[in-house]
Chains A and B, each alone.
Chain A
Amino acid sequence: GIQVEQSPPDLILQEGANSTLRCNFSDSVNNLQWFHQNPWGQLINLFYIPSGTKQNGRLSATTVATERYSLLYISSSQTTDSGVYFCAAHVQQNTPLVFGKGTRLSVIA
């Protein structure tokens, strides 16, 4: 099955700094999503982005499907951005979404 790898595993930022999280996947994907897991454990959907670029406020994401990677950009980070960011992908709509191990982000005031 598809393999999803995320880097870095851990990231510590000063408030106001920018960051880039990376997701590599082993096969062509039909779906790629970025999630933020908050301190209460909830999975918050950030982007559905099988290809191209999307922006939502201080967050943006780019997926280059032909090169099998996706990037999540966080600008002007805030302490509320802390948590674990997961990338998940699958090759067909009706196959299970496979998650990476996540990037744990800590934003320090």
Chain B
Amino acid sequence: EPEVTQTPSHQVTQMGQEVILRCVPISNHLYFYWYRQILGQKVEFLVSFYNNEISEKSEIFDDQFSVERPDGSNFTLKIRSTKLEDSAMYFCASHSPLGGYYGYTFGSGTRLTVV
């Protein structure tokens, strides 16, 4: 079964540093997403990406965040200057309406710890 791959699985960074979280969505999917889950809380939407541009973003997705699809396979989330409150699990997801719609597929997540 096709998978969404995320790297790294765990990253520790110092406050104020930039981090890039990487995702490889399923190859024939067209819509890509980043979600965040602070420890013990619900999974929250950050941003959606379609046709090489942001299609929707939440209030959480402020100027310190950016997304990019630098090539045909990778999808990245950059946090420019990390804060302690950015510590969370970050999930990438993708889906495609082509050939039938079967819901979102989520990656295994990147646990980000800001110290």
Contact = CB atoms under 8 A, between A and B. Distances in A.
Contacts of A40: 108
A45 B42 contact: no
Interface in B51-108: 55-56, 58, 89, 91, 93, 95, 97, 101-106, 108
B45 A98 contact: yes
B44 interface: yes
Interface string A29-55: 001010100001111010010000000
Contacts of A95: 56
A86 interface: yes
Given A94-B31, A95-B56, A86 B105 contact: no
A86 B89 CA distance: 15
B106 A102 contact: no
A48 B48 CA distance: 20
Contacts of B42: 86, 99-102
A48 B42 CA distance: 19
Interface residues of A, number: 21
Q: Which of B35, B103, B105, B108 has the most CB of A within 10 A?
A: B103
Nearest to B56: A96
A68 B109 CA distance: 30
B43 A31 contact: no
B59 to A, nearest CB: 12
Contact of B103 (A31, A96, A101): A31
Interface of A: 31, 33, 35, 40-43, 45, 48, 86, 88, 93-102
Closest 10 CB pairs of A and B: A48-B103, A96-B45, A99-B43, A43-B106, A42-B108, A101-B42, A33-B103, A41-B89, A99-B42, A48-B102
28 contacts: A33-B103, A35-B106, A40-B108, A41-B111, A42-B108, A43-B43, A43-B91, A43-B106, A45-B104, A45-B105, A45-B106, A86-B42, A86-B43, A88-B43, A88-B104, A94-B31, A94-B50, A95-B56, A96-B33, A96-B45, A96-B48, A96-B56, A97-B33, A97-B45, A98-B45, A99-B42, A100-B42, A101-B41
